[in-house]
Chain A
Amino acid sequence: MIAALLATPQPMSVHLAHASAWAVFAVGAVLILSGALGVVLLRNPVHCALMLVITLFGIALEFIDQSADFLAAVQIIVYAGAVVILFLFVIMFLGVDRRERFMREPFRGQKPLAVILGLITLAEILVLSRVGNWSTGQHGVAGDLNGPGENIQKLGQSIYTRYLLPFEMTSALLVIAVVATVVLARQQSRAPSELTKDEQAGVAAAAADKAEAKR
């Protein structure tokens, strides 16, 4: 997109279109970055999850900028709507809707190391982007909306024709998710010898209560 902005002079209307695309891109970028910073920096996990919504909205905006309207809608419905809600559910269920103490580092020197690595990565990206013009391949089939037809129609067509097999095989992932939930979340039955001391005491107390009630 940046390459498009730097292209040779165009008629006025194209300029305007480019300017608006640029504006949308900038707003989206600011949203994405501020949301991401909020996720990392805020202390309350619930606030973090809500900041994630801002990031996801920003990404949806960028999708619109690329004229991928359907993906933008899906981005909001699936990620902002469902996934973040799921995060909030988990946060509430685990009872961590309180302030966490982040001062204690799990690994010594983790924070400075993270900062250094982050700076190195940033420097790398900047250097790479300055080094010269990147050679990239031909236009892909899934790029900016090429040719006639509407966004959703094209997406549906490629999902149900060219990408039919990948699309169908994702169902295997869903089956695995269901089975995995059953395996991992099922109440485990343990032999008495495998219980912890507290649990053994609890079992004994329950048995005593039962005996009491019987009498």
Chain B
Amino acid sequence: MIGLLSHTLVGQTVQAPATGCQVTPGKVTGLCQAFNSLHIPVEYRTILPLLVLSIGALVLLVISAVLPKRSRPGLYPLLTVIISGLAAGASVFQWIDVGNHAATKAIGNQIFYDRFSVLFMLLISVATLFGALLSDSYLQREGLDGVEAYVLMLLASTGAMLMAASAGTIMLFLGLEIMSIALYVMTAYHRRRAASGEGGLKYFILGSFSSAIFLYGAALAYGATGTTQFDEMSVFLARTTLPNDGILLGGMALLIVGLGFKVAAVPFHFWSPDVYEAAPTPFTGYMAAVAKAAGFAGLFRVLLEGFHSQEANWRPAIWLIAVLTLLVGSVLAIAQRDLKRMMAYSSISQAGYVLIGLQSASSQGTAGALFYLLTYTFIIAGTFAVIGLVQGEGEARNDLGAIRGLGRRRPGLALVMLLFLLAQAGVPFTSGFLAKFYVIAAAVNRGQYALAIIGMLAAAIAAFFYLRVGLLMYSSPEVDETKEPTDGAALAGLRPIPGFDTPREPALSQGPGAVAASSDGDGAVALLAPPEGRVEIPFTVGITLAVCAAFTIFAGVSSPVLDFAKHATTYF
């Protein structure tokens, strides 16, 4: 980062030999030419949010080193909120700036400066802001308070922004690694939960494999096209016909696999439930929003920018992945008894809709997908905020029983959760409905009727488990063993299905409610009594919930947000 700050110096060293080159007329030495042509200006405004976040992370580290240990609880989250707020402001500035000028490539053609990347910068800044707000109370409750979590979060967001803005596979890979490695550590952050470390290791090993696969794909794509830049790839492929395009197709397939892993598309989703369950709850929400958004940004860049002319080759592959993702995610979510695992499968199925938008390969599909990701950020932050509240200390209660009777204990909280669930199910007057509607409309416009129907079918399947949680919240908090409760269907779904979801052993979910939470579901009643005591809503979580809920309704009934997403696709 230091080097970026001293770009004038770099510029001078590059230019200096050129001025010192006494060129004899008619004979320019190659060296001088090389120096002249390599002057690269660094346009800071093109990476402003990214700079704010990464410098902010360093500032946090310095402050934590200077201040005495445990000086003020809430200082680091406050600073993180300010930093990500500044980053969000910077991306708004960029949005206007790109509007006034044209979309360009910047800093040695390594990044795109267009509204597509700016939209993701805004999305990621907002997700970071929510992540910091939610982490504050959680980390204090768990006794994990410290500067490290926030530094990792800011740096992960930096990587995600790089991915969204990348103009070539090198930048994309670097952003992917920065984001992923920070996320591995964040997954393993809860040191006293054995599940957390286990999940972090699993994520690390599988993620490293997927990164390697991505890198292999990038190498093959480079071999096939002779460039790592997406726009040069597309120019090359438009100009040239490769009679034997094995290397190109192989590279494309491996790139899809590598990024498909990051967005947890089926069949590359196996890590996702374990990691979602293992990671500290606010980090799970953050991960679900940011990693998914950045992974999809990468997919859009690679497929729509680099391999635009190869549409006929990748669209069938994405079609298949989208169908699998929609169906497997929705069906397996029904079998889950753990809230976080259920949300993991739910977010897998949600990724399927974004894939529908990608598969359409049209600006309408891209706009729909961007709108989807934007609204999903708010929905998922709110959902995990509620889960973080009801799970209790030590993440004792992640089972569905924890949310039982919430409607009576905290009516407001239950109402907000219901809103988020309905939005994910795609009920009208929520942002989720419009988002699903636009991606499916894009598929229909491209004549993909089968895909559209499967998308709607998956929404119907998914509605079952979202409504089941909703019903649970409003059912009686007492567990009646003799009488079948009203939500009989819920009970049927709660029995573990062999092979799909083995309940975690008691030793792994340490905490006061561990033994109760892991009671086997073989008996007639799988539901547990809801936890005792009142659910306290900290101020920061309350703010997040209010903002997310307001946005979910606002984006569901009016169009400015969609227009926003539409403007971001002008580049494609």
B window 153-196: CB within 8 A of A: 155, 158-159, 162, 170-171, 174-175, 177-178, 181-182, 184-185, 188-189, 191-192
Contact at B244–A140, with CB atoms within 8 Å? no
Whole-angstrom distance between the Cβ of B146 and the nearest chain A Cβ: 8
- Interface stretch, picked from A17-25, A106-114, A167-175, is A167-175
* A165–B170 alpha-carbon span in the complex (Å): 10
Q: Is A164's CB within 8 Å of the partner chain B?
A: yes
Contacts of A149 in B (CB 8 A): 30-31, 34
Contacts of B159 in A (CB 8 A): 172
Residues of chain A whose beta carbon lies under 8 Å from any beta carbon of chain B: 128, 131-140, 147-149, 157-158, 160-173, 175-177, 179-180, 182-184, 186, 188, 190, 194
Chain B interface category by residue count: 35 or more
Closest 8 CB pairs of A and B: A137-B226, A138-B226, A148-B30, A137-B225, A135-B242, A180-B185, A162-B108, A161-B38
* A165–B58 alpha-carbon span in the complex (Å): 18
Contact at A179–B107, with CB atoms within 8 Å? no
Which residue, B29, B109, B149, B182, has most C-beta atoms of chain A within 10 A? Answer: B182
* A163–B171 alpha-carbon span in the complex (Å): 9
- Assess A172 versus B246: contact at CB under 8 Å? Given A180-B185, A190-B192: no
* A50–B189 alpha-carbon span in the complex (Å): 34
Contact at A188–B191, with CB atoms within 8 Å? yes
Interface contacts (Cβ under 8 Å), in number, total 150
Closest chain A residue to B168, Cβ basis: A166
A162 is contacted by which of B38, B185, B227 (Cβ under 8 Å)? B38
Q: Is B222's CB within 8 Å of the partner chain A?
A: yes
Q: Is B57's CB within 8 Å of the partner chain A?
A: yes
* A173–B177 alpha-carbon span in the complex (Å): 8
Contacts of A157 in B (CB 8 A): 14, 34-35, 38
Contacts of A131 in B (CB 8 A): 244, 246
Contacts of A180 in B (CB 8 A): 152, 181-182, 184-185
- Assess A172 versus B226: contact at CB under 8 Å? Given A135-B244, A149-B30: no
A172 is contacted by which of B34, B40, B54 (Cβ under 8 Å)? B54
Apart from A157-B35, A180-B181, 12 more pairs, CB < 8 Å: A131-B244, A135-B248, A138-B225, A139-B226, A157-B34, A157-B38, A161-B108, A165-B42, A173-B178, A173-B181, A176-B182, A183-B189
Contacts of A172 in B (CB 8 A): 1, 54, 155, 158-159, 178
A163 is contacted by which of B155, B158, B170 (Cβ under 8 Å)? B170
A164 is contacted by which of B40, B192, B248 (Cβ under 8 Å)? B40
- Assess A171 versus B1: contact at CB under 8 Å? Given A134-B246, A135-B247: yes
Which residue, A138, A139, A172, has most C-beta atoms of chain B within 10 A? Answer: A172
Whole-angstrom distance between the Cβ of A133 and the nearest chain B Cβ: 7
* A149–B31 alpha-carbon span in the complex (Å): 6
Contact at A147–B4, with CB atoms within 8 Å? no
Closest chain A residue to B236, Cβ basis: A137
Contacts of A176 in B (CB 8 A): 152, 155, 178, 181-182, 185
Whole-angstrom distance between the Cβ of A7 and the nearest chain B Cβ: 19
Contacts of B226 in A (CB 8 A): 136-140
Contacts of B149 in A (CB 8 A): 183
10 contacts between A and B (CB under 8 A): A137-B224, A140-B227, A149-B34, A162-B109, A164-B108, A172-B155, A173-B181, A180-B185, A183-B148, A183-B188
Q: Is B110's CB within 8 Å of the partner chain A?
A: yes
* A140–B228 alpha-carbon span in the complex (Å): 9
Whole-angstrom distance between the Cβ of B59 and the nearest chain A Cβ: 12
Contacts of B223 in A (CB 8 A): 136-137
Closest chain A residue to B159, Cβ basis: A172
Contact at B3–A168, with CB atoms within 8 Å? yes
Contact at A147–B30, with CB atoms within 8 Å? yes
* A172–B178 alpha-carbon span in the complex (Å): 7
Whole-angstrom distance between the Cβ of A87 and the nearest chain B Cβ: 16
Q: Is B245's CB within 8 Å of the partner chain A?
A: yes
Contacts of B155 in A (CB 8 A): 172, 175-176, 179
Whole-angstrom distance between the Cβ of B437 and the nearest chain A Cβ: 38
Contact at B244–A134, with CB atoms within 8 Å? yes
Contact at B108–A163, with CB atoms within 8 Å? yes
Contact at B244–A162, with CB atoms within 8 Å? no
Whole-angstrom distance between the Cβ of B234 and the nearest chain A Cβ: 12
Contacts of B177 in A (CB 8 A): 173
Whole-angstrom distance between the Cβ of B62 and the nearest chain A Cβ: 12
Contact at B188–A184, with CB atoms within 8 Å? yes
Contacts of B109 in A (CB 8 A): 162
Closest chain B residue to A137, Cβ basis: B226
Contact at A166–B171, with CB atoms within 8 Å? yes
Contact at A184–B185, with CB atoms within 8 Å? yes
Contacts of A167 in B (CB 8 A): 3
B window 214-243: CB within 8 A of A: 222-228, 236, 240, 242-243
Q: Is B408's CB within 8 Å of the partner chain A?
A: no
Contact at A137–B108, with CB atoms within 8 Å? no
* A138–B155 alpha-carbon span in the complex (Å): 36
Whole-angstrom distance between the Cβ of B540 and the nearest chain A Cβ: 22
* A172–B170 alpha-carbon span in the complex (Å): 15
Q: Is B535's CB within 8 Å of the partner chain A?
A: no
* A68–B5 alpha-carbon span in the complex (Å): 30
A183 is contacted by which of B13, B108, B152, B244 (Cβ under 8 Å)? B152
Contact at B108–A165, with CB atoms within 8 Å? yes
Contacts of A128 in B (CB 8 A): 246
Q: Is B510's CB within 8 Å of the partner chain A?
A: yes
B window 462-516: CB within 8 A of A: 510
Contacts of A147 in B (CB 8 A): 30, 34
Q: Is B446's CB within 8 Å of the partner chain A?
A: no
Contact at B192–A140, with CB atoms within 8 Å? no
* A176–B42 alpha-carbon span in the complex (Å): 24
Q: Is B111's CB within 8 Å of the partner chain A?
A: yes
* A131–B10 alpha-carbon span in the complex (Å): 48
